[in-house]
Structure 1
C-alpha cells in the first residue's frame, strides 16, 4: 500500500497494485485446520481467493492497456511528465485519452469491486474477520479509489465522457449493491455489499466533482468510511467470536442471532453508532462526506446519478438497521425491538474481552467526529474557495442536504418499525405469501443471478467451448502436424526399402538405366543449345 501511495509513475504503482492483490489473495484463502477430518475441510476460502485473483486480473488487463496507450503517446510513465505533455498535444481532450483513462479505470473496477467485477468481494468474506476489516477499510478495495484520485489531473484533460463513465458506474453499483444487501442473511456479506455500495459513492464523488473540487469529495468519503467500516467489521467479528464460543460452531446467519444487545452491550452500542454513521445520520461522520457527494451530483447537472445516490442513502439506512435489529434486537425488546429481545441461538453468549472491545470503543470517536475535519481538503489540492463551498455551515444550509437526511431517516424508521415490531417468521411468511414479493426477494437474495451467469459462462463457454476448441486444435493441428511428419518419414523409409533387393541384376539395371537417362538429357541440352 505504501508503494502505491508514494508511487510517482505508472510502473511503480502497478507493482504495488499487484502486490496488494497478491496479499489479499493469500489473506482471503487463509484457513487451515490440520486436525479437521476430510469431511470438515472447507474448500470455500480457496475458491474465494481464486475468484478474487481472476476478477482482478480481468480488470488489470484494461489497466495495462490504458498505461500502454499513455506511454506510446507521451513517451513516459511518470505522472508529472504525462500531465505536462498532454496540454496542447494531439492527446489533449482527445477520444483516445478518454479511452485510455477508462481503461485505467477498469483496474479500479476490479480492485474496488464495482459492477460487473464485484462478485469477488462478498466471496472474500471467507477470510478471517480482521482481514475483512483491513481489506474493506484500509487496503485493497480503497486502492482503486485512490488510483483514480491520483490520476485525476489526467482525467481533467480527457473528454467529459471519461468522468461520466466513472460516476455512472459508481452510482449504478451503489444502488445495485444496496438492493442486494436488503435481503442478505449472512452477517459479513451484508457488510461486504455495503462496502461495494459505499465505494460506488466514492467514485461518484470523483466523477461529479469536476476540476473545481478535484478528488476532494470522493477521497473525503473514503477517509470517513474507513473508520466506521472498520468498526462494523470488528464489531461483527466480536459477535461471531462470542457465538462461536457459545454454540461451538461457525454462525454468520443473522436469523440465528437476536437479542445480543443485552448480552454484548459494548459491541451493540459501538455497532449502532457505526450503523448511524454509514446511514448518514445527522452530525455523524458519514453524514458530511456522503451528503456532499449527493449534493454535488445535483448541482453539477447529473439528475439520474443524484436520484440513484439519494435512493441508495435510504436503502443503506434500511439494511444496516435491519442487520442491527436482527442481530442485537428483535420483537419484545426495549425501544420497540431495537435493544434486547429473544435470543434465537443456543448456548450462553458473553461480551468479548477487552482486547476486542477497546478497539471498538476507540473507533467510535473518529466514526463520530472525522466528518468535521474540513482541513482534509487541503491535502488533495482543493482550492480555498471550493473548500468554503464544502464547509459544514454551507452544507447544513442546503436544501439538498436535508432532503437526504429525510430519506435516510425514512430508511431507518421503516427498518425499525418492520423488524422491531414484527417477528422474523411472520415477515418471511408474508413475503412468501405474495408472489411478486417472493420473486423480488429471490432475485435479490440470489444477487440478480450474476454469479450464476458467470458460472454458466465459465462452464459452457470457457470450459465447454474454448476448452473443446483448444482440444480439437491440439488434436488435429498440433498433433496432426507431428503425426503427419512421422507418417511421411515412415512412408519414405518403406518406399526406399524396396530399392534394396540384394540382386546384382536389379542394381545393374538401375545403373545403366540412370546412364541412359543422363545421356538423353545431355543430347537434349546440346540440341537445344545449337538451335
Structure 2
C-alpha cells in the first residue's frame, strides 16, 4: 500500500518546467566517508524507481497471496515467507538506492535471497545444485560489476546517481572526453566507458544474458511462486534496471558502447527463443521465454540512439528504445508472473512439469485456462493487449537503429508466439491424459486463482496506460511512438505464428515434443540440449 500511495503522490505532484517529474531524495546520509569520496545511504524517487516500486510490490503481493495455497502443508512454511520477504526487501532497496554503491549492497542481497529460495528444498540434490550454480555464476558476473563501480567512482569522483542529472555534469564530463589534457584525464576518457561495460557484465549475469544464462533454467528447482517472483519482478530485471538507472551516464560517456548491449541482447533473445521451442517442461519453456524477453528489454535500451541538438540537449525522439524497454519491463512483469503462477496451478493439479502428462485441462481448470490464454496472447503481441504495445515499440526502436536488427527481433517475436501457443495447446487442448482416470485434475483454490485474475486483468488494460506521460529519467523527456506499418507487419507475423502452432498442436494425438523431433530431429536435439552450453562450461 505504501508503494501505491507513494506512486500516487509522486505522479500527481508538481512537474518541472519541461514537463518531466523531479528527482526527489527525501532521505540521505553519509554512511562511510573515504577521503574525497563518501558512501551514502538514502532513498531516491524518480519515475523509474517509482514505477519499479509498483511493479515489485504488485507482483510480490500476488506471490505472497498465491503461496498460501501453493505452499500449504509444506515443511518450512515460515522459513519460506521469511526468505520471500527478504527477497522483496532486497529488490525494493536496490531500486530506491541513491548511489551505485548502495545499489551494489542490495544487489548482493538479491543474490543471497535467490540462493536461499532456489535451494528451499534443501533435501533435494537438484535444488542444492541449482542454488549453488545460480550463486556462483552471478557472483562471477558481480565481480565485474564491483570493479566497474570502483573504476567509475575513482574517475567520476562520485557514486551518486544524481551526478548524472546534475547541471554540473558537463563540467565533470568535459575533461574526460578531451583526451588532449594530462594522462590521468586521458585514462579517464577510456576507463569510464570501460567501467560502464564492466557494470553491464554484472547486469548480464543477473539478467541471464548469453553466455551467463546457464543458471536461470536450473533455478526452476525452487518453488513455482519463487520462479514467478524471480522472473517477473526481482532478480532477472535487476540487470535491466541497472542499465536504465545508469542510462544517462552511458549516453554521456559511452554512447557507442551501447552497441554491446544491443547485440548481446539480440543474440540472447534468439538463442533463448530457439531453446524454448524444444522444451517439454512447462517451467523451462517459461524460463527460456523470460531470458528472451529480458533480452528484448536490453536490446531496447541499447538501441536508444544518441542524438544531440545544437544546445547539447538530448533529442527525445532518439530515446524511443529507453521508453520501450521500461514499458516492456512493466508489461512483462504482469503477464510473466501470471504465466508462472498459472503453471504452478497446473503442476499442482497434475503433479508433473511435463507437457506429456497434460492435455485437455481447459475443461477442468477454466480460470487457469482463461488467464493463461490472455497472457499467451499478450506475450505473443496480439493487438490490444499490453505486450503488443511494448513489444512493437521495441521493434520500432530496433528498425530505427538498424533494419537488420529490426527484422531479427521481429523473427524472435514470431518464435515467441509459436512456442507460447505450442505450450498452451500442449497443456489445455488435445486428449485427456490417461492419468486423469486415477487422479482427476481440479481448479486451484481461490488463494491461487485470485492472483491470476488480478494479473491477467492488468495484462488486458496495461498497454493502454499512457506510459510516456509518466516515465522519464534524469530530467530528459522520452518519446513513445508506435509505427503503424511496423505494428501491422509484426502483428500479422505473430498471428501467422499462432496459426502455425494451432495447426500443428491444437488437436495433437502425440506428445508435443515428438512432432518437432520427428520433423527436425537434429535441430530439435540441439535446442532441447540448450545447444550444449552446460556441457561447454563443464
TM-score, normalised to structure 2's length?
0.75
1:14 and 2:104 equivalent? yes
Pick from 326, 333, 345: which aligns with 2:426?
A: 326
* Conserved 8 A contact 2:209-2:295: yes
In structure 2, the CA distance between the partners of 1:142 and 1:385, relative to structure 1 (3 Å rule), is closer
1:56 alignment partner in structure 2: 138
SS of corresponding position for 1:424: coil
In structure 2, the CA distance between the partners of 1:89 and 1:344, relative to structure 1 (3 Å rule), is farther
1:43 and 2:128 equivalent? no
1:162 alignment partner in structure 2: 257
1:242 alignment partner in structure 2: 349
In structure 2, the CA distance between the partners of 1:367 and 1:426, relative to structure 1 (3 Å rule), is closer
SS of corresponding position for 2:486: helix
Aligned equivalents of 2:367 and 2:137: distance in 1? Answer: 38
* Conserved 8 A contact 1:260-1:343: no
CA RMSD for the aligned pairs?
Answer: 2.0
Pick from 278, 282, 295: which aligns with 2:396?
A: 295
Alpha-carbon offset, residue 80 of structure 1: 2.6
Alpha-carbon offset, residue 216 of structure 1: 1.6
1:67 and 2:149 equivalent? yes
* Conserved 8 A contact 2:138-2:206: yes
Pick from 295, 298, 302: which aligns with 1:207?
A: 302
Structure 1 or 2: larger helix share?
Answer: 1
Alpha-carbon offset, residue 79 of structure 1: 2.3
In structure 2, the CA distance between the partners of 1:241 and 1:427, relative to structure 1 (3 Å rule), is closer
How do 1:57-206 and structure 2 match up within 5 A? Answer: 57-81=139-163, 84=169, 86-91=172-177, 94-206=189-301
2:42 alignment partner in structure 1: none
Alpha-carbon offset, residue 306 of structure 1: 1.3
* Conserved 8 A contact 2:378-2:386: yes
How do 1:461-472 and structure 2 match up within 5 A? Answer: none
Aligned equivalents of 1:418 and 1:98: distance in 2? Answer: 48
1:450 and 2:533 equivalent? yes
In structure 2, the CA distance between the partners of 1:361 and 1:102, relative to structure 1 (3 Å rule), is same
How do 1:404-483 and structure 2 match up within 5 A? Answer: 404-425=490-511, 428=514, 431-432=517-518, 437-455=520-538
1:512 alignment partner in structure 2: none
> Gapped runs of 5+ residues in structure 2?
1-90, 180-188, 307-315
SS of corresponding position for 2:435: coil
* Conserved 8 A contact 2:468-2:478: no
Give aligned pairs, total: 421
Aligned equivalents of 2:417 and 2:272: distance in 1? Answer: 13
> Gapped runs of 5+ residues in structure 1?
33-40, 245-250, 331-340, 456-531
Aligned equivalents of 1:24 and 1:318: distance in 2? Answer: 30
Q: Deviations over 1:76-110 (max 9, x none)?
A: 22223366254212247944332211111001100
Alpha-carbon offset, residue 61 of structure 1: 1.4
Pick from 354, 360, 366: which aligns with 2:446?
A: 354
Aligned equivalents of 2:149 and 2:164: distance in 1? Answer: 11
In structure 2, the CA distance between the partners of 1:427 and 1:452, relative to structure 1 (3 Å rule), is closer
Structure 1 runs (4+) deviating above 6 angstroms are: 382-385
* Structure with bigger RCO (C-alpha 8 Å, 6+ apart): 2
1:231 and 2:321 equivalent? no
**Higher deviation after alignment, 439-448 or 82-91:** 82-91
Aligned equivalents of 1:92 and 1:280: distance in 2? Answer: 45
Alpha-carbon offset, residue 440 of structure 1: 0.4
SS of corresponding position for 1:88: helix
* Conserved 8 A contact 1:28-1:128: yes
1:472 alignment partner in structure 2: none
In structure 2, the CA distance between the partners of 1:185 and 1:377, relative to structure 1 (3 Å rule), is farther
Aligned equivalents of 2:336 and 2:102: distance in 1? Answer: 28
Aligned equivalents of 2:375 and 2:497: distance in 1? Answer: 16
In structure 2, the CA distance between the partners of 1:344 and 1:96, relative to structure 1 (3 Å rule), is farther
1:399 and 2:485 equivalent? yes
- Which is higher, the Rg of structure 1 or of structure 2? 1
Alpha-carbon offset, residue 385 of structure 1: 7.6
**Higher deviation after alignment, 365-374 or 311-320:** 365-374
1:25 alignment partner in structure 2: 115
* Conserved 8 A contact 1:220-1:377: no
1:310 alignment partner in structure 2: 410
In structure 2, the CA distance between the partners of 1:59 and 1:374, relative to structure 1 (3 Å rule), is same
In structure 2, the CA distance between the partners of 1:385 and 1:102, relative to structure 1 (3 Å rule), is closer
Aligned equivalents of 1:156 and 1:438: distance in 2? Answer: 46
